[in-house]
């Protein structure tokens, strides 16, 4: 009971300050895996992690998935080598368009 009350209070405080919500910050957490975030972005994520245990768990899950996907088991083939160049290009295009769409929704 006290734990859920504290969580609710933290969430109201966070939104009351006009700071981004979890859905935007999970996107930043994902981006942090691929690029160096700006100082502002890193500060937003760090301060959000202080109040949001769910986003901390999400970040940890991203790290586990990234490590798992980069660790190749002996005797297996790489995912990249099993996809044709056309398929890889199509996937990149779809992911890029998805990122553009997220920007439009936030903007």
Average pLDDT over residues 24-50: 88
User: What sections of 17-84 are H helices per DSSP?
Assistant: 22-32, 39-51, 53-70, 79-82
**Could you give the 3-state DSSP secondary structure of residue 8?**
helix
Q: Residue 97 pLDDT > 90, yes or no?
A: no
pLDDT tens track for 40-79: 999 888 888 888 888 899 999 988 888 887 776 665 555 5
Share of residues in the chain with pLDDT > 90 (%): 7
61 Cβ contact partners less than 8 Å away, ≥ 6 residues apart: none
Phi, psi (rounded to 5 degrees) for 35: -150, 165
Higher local confidence (pLDDT), 80 or 29: 29
Q: Identify the top-confidence range among 3-7, 21-25, 73-77.
A: 21-25
């Amino acid at each position: 009971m006290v734990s859920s009350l504290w969580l609710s209070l933290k969430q109201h405080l966070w939104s009351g300050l006009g700071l981004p919500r979890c859905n935007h910050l999970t996107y930043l957490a994902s981006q942090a895996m691929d690029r160096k975030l700006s100082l502002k972005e890193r500060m937003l994520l760090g301060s959000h992690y202080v109040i949001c245990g769910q986003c901390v768990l999400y970040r940890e899950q991203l790290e586990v998935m990234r490590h798992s996907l980069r660790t190749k088991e002996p005797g297996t083939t790489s995912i990249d080598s099993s996809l044709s160049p056309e398929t890889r290009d199509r996937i990149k295009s779809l992911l890029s368009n998805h990122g553009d769409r997220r920007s439009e929704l936030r903007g």
